Chain A
Amino acid sequence: MSPLRIDGLVRGQLTLDDFLKDQSFPLVEGTRVTFIFNGPAEAVHLKSWVYGLPNSQPLQKVENLDLWYLTLDIPRRSRVEYKFEVVRAGHGAWILDPLNPHRATDPFGANSVVHGEGYVVPEWTRLDPEARPGTMEPWVVKSRAFNDTRRFHVYLPARFRKTRRYPLIFVHDGPDYVRFANLKVVLDNLIHRLEIPDVIVALSGSPNRIGEYADDERHARFVTEEVVPDLEKRLPLLGTPKGRCLMGASFGGVASLSTAVRYPGFYGRLLLQSGSFAFSDIGQQNKRGPAFDPVVRFMNRFRENPTMVAEKAFISCGMHESLIYENRSLVPMLQATDMELRYVEARDGHNWENWRDRLRDGLAWLFPGPLRMVYE
């Protein structure tokens, strides 16, 4: 194995200035990735959420320097989100890596990100000035199911025409998908490239997603009997199962699947990302805690009698997340129901950029665009 750059510093062959000069951090040398923290501390820990690795790993101090390091094996094309815990005066503080400009944001804040060798941010996730932007229309639905009023946005494609008819995608955690997974830009780009057709997308959120997305009958009713009929009445939608898709990540994946199970055949397409499909083989509880109890009950019931609830489903999950077990378990079960299934794994975790990076695979498979029809 060839020596790493950090070895040069540890052995005194490099000065600190030379070591830090003109480098980007963490240091990625093949599959060896070295995390660096430069500053005074009593201890420094790497906090990451990679399934199979400890959540917390100590960095080592270089003798006579305030520089800390940890080298890990990170497979090619991986994305890993992390923070440092810096202990000073007996107190640990979680911070972003000051040497790393790459950040990923989510509803809880931000993490630093290391890109393993070979990983590149897909270009179709970036703003393309040539792609005409769709519009976001505010939408209000008075919900009898929840006895309140729900507001969300509906994406209309750039060339929206009332005389056409469009497929509908109902997105759970819609605002988060737009904010953290760049969903609007992705839709604009994929439509512009003809990789997906013009689509209408309902970007719905929830004031209580952990409760409402965990197989709540009211949520399924709200989406299927209130939102979809309202959209189909007021917008030129296909209004057929193959023109209706439920999409979501994490608990949003559970909400998508459980809604489809409650209304079998109504939705023809499912896009499920890192679904929190917790189940138990004995009993109705799972190590993940009480929030998952309704999910476990739902999944156990579904596993007992899996049925074809939609014609096609796309499932993706990160190899670095603990839910990989549940998602892998779901695949053969759904295949046995004759659902048409595509399953994709990535070297990534339970995060929005993982979900962003899989959108093209999922959307283009569920809704193939007119690429075959257009010859400019």
Chain B
Amino acid sequence: MRGVLLGPQQLRQSLGTAVELLGREGPVALITCGWQEREDQDEELSALFGRETRNLTLYARGEEVLAEDREFFNAHRARQDQLRQIQEFYRLRLERVFDAALDIDRKAQGSDIAADELRLSFEQIRRLDQEHLERVTALREAWELQMKPLERPSIARHRKALTALLRECRLLAISGGHVAVMLNRLRMFGLVELLTDQSLIAWSGGAMVTGGRVVLFHESPPEGVGISEVLDAGLQLHDGVLPLPNPKLRLKLDNAFRVGWMSRRHAPLQCVALDQGELVSFEDGRWFGAEGTVRLNPDGTLTTGWAS
């Protein structure tokens, strides 16, 4: 697949540049379900893309399915409750281990065992991430096996309509928004399986959900310790990069300890900070970053722009 991942578009828009880079003709299939009930407020996007859009309205379709198919609604709700609980307990473990790592860093600083102790904490976190990812994936797969969502008439009807909409589009654009809602709707309709040869334009949260894993992050939130957490596997439409949109708001890029940890924690994925309007493009596993794109390195340093 070919595609472009972008940072937030509120203050600096680069969707037109992404379209030019990909050079595909025709209207853009648009997914804005991350905006939830505002998903149809997409009037400005056609102008930014420089062409017509076809909004797939996945959020509204999902609401229709939930209203119409009571059995699916109940099963879906029960699964979401389970996922929320698992996420909460994982976060609890994560915070304790991270707090301990910070304490160890303070107390062991300068001593011979400091590096070893920190490595142990770090490995614990990597293990927690991996186990969480496996649990969430197993739960989801078991649920899908049982419920067979794509075969349910309530969903199959929408998939047919989506197939028709996608047939006329060579570009698929996914906006930012609520990443859990996006994942939920994209999976509910098995959207990835409906794609043919479309190229991808995904910004902010859209860039996050289309990769290998979805990592939630905010290093200075109004509450909590500000450690990032794995939410789920992504849709695997691109591989090799972990997009981190809006770093000025959400990351402490001047903190080498945090930068290094973030980078090593999610390796072999390459952490890439995407500020407003910044972009990276990919084609057949190769990545190209524009000048303003920032990579987080394992040693806590930052590198601007690259071509792999």
Contact = CB atoms under 8 A, between A and B. Distances in A.
Interface size class, chain B: 20 to 34
Nearest to A365: B223
Interface residues of A, number: 17
Contact of B222 (A370, A371, A374, A375): A371
A365 B221 CA distance: 10
Nearest to B9: A376
A350 interface: no
Nearest to B66: A163
A372 B205 contact: no
A374 B35 CA distance: 9
Nearest to B37: A159
A72 to B, nearest CB: 33
Interface in B146-166: none
Interface string A344-361: 000000000000000011
Contacts of B217: 372
A364 to B, nearest CB: 4
A1 interface: no
A89 interface: no
Contacts of B218: 371-372
B124 interface: no
Contact of B63 (A159, A163, A369): A163
Interface string B200-241: 000011001000000011100111100001010000000000
A373 interface: yes
B168 to A, nearest CB: 28
B223 A373 contact: no
Contact of B216 (A159, A195, A373): A373
Contacts of A369: 222
Q: For the complex, would chain B's binding face be called helix, strand, loop or mixed by DSSP majority?
A: mixed
A376 B179 contact: no
B176 A195 contact: no
B22 interface: no
Given A163-B67, A364-B223, A371-B218, A376 B177 contact: yes
B229 to A, nearest CB: 8
Interface string B30-74: 000010110000000000000000000000000100110000000
A297 B137 CA distance: 53
B10 interface: yes
B8 interface: yes
B245 interface: yes
A364 B220 CA distance: 13
Contacts of B208: 375
B179 A371 contact: no
A39 interface: no
B187 interface: no
B211 to A, nearest CB: 13
Given A373-B178, A375-B204, A368 B37 contact: no
A368 B224 contact: yes
A369 B177 CA distance: 14
B263 to A, nearest CB: 19
Contact of B178 (A163, A360, A361, A370): A370
B280 to A, nearest CB: 16
B180 interface: yes
Interface string B229-268: 1010000000000000110000000000000000000000
A371 B178 contact: no
A151 B180 CA distance: 38
Nearest to A196: B222
Contacts of A375: 8, 34, 176-177, 179, 204-205, 208, 245-246
B37 A161 contact: yes
Query: For A159, A361, A368, A375, which residue has the most chain B Cβ atoms within 10 angstroms?
Result: A375
A364 B66 CA distance: 30
A339 to B, nearest CB: 15
Contacts of B36: 159
A374 B221 contact: no
A195 B222 contact: yes
A374 B223 contact: no
Interface string A184-205: 0000000000010000000000
Query: For A159, A195, A361, A376, which residue has the most chain B Cβ atoms within 10 angstroms?
Result: A376
Nearest to A376: B176
A171 B283 CA distance: 55
A365 B217 CA distance: 17
A364 B34 CA distance: 22
A368 B180 CA distance: 16
B179 A374 contact: yes
A374 B205 contact: yes
A373 B37 contact: no
Given A159-B37, A371-B218, A375-B177, 13 more contacts: A195-B222, A360-B222, A365-B223, A372-B218, A372-B229, A373-B216, A374-B178, A374-B205, A375-B34, A375-B176, A375-B245, A376-B177, A376-B205
Interface of B: 8, 10, 34, 36-37, 63, 66-67, 176-180, 204-205, 208, 216-218, 221-224, 229, 231, 245-246
20 contacts: A159-B36, A361-B222, A365-B223, A368-B224, A370-B178, A371-B218, A371-B221, A371-B222, A372-B217, A372-B218, A373-B179, A374-B34, A374-B176, A374-B178, A375-B177, A375-B179, A375-B204, A375-B208, A376-B204, A376-B205
The 3 closest A-B pairs by CB, nearest first: A375-B205, A364-B222, A372-B216
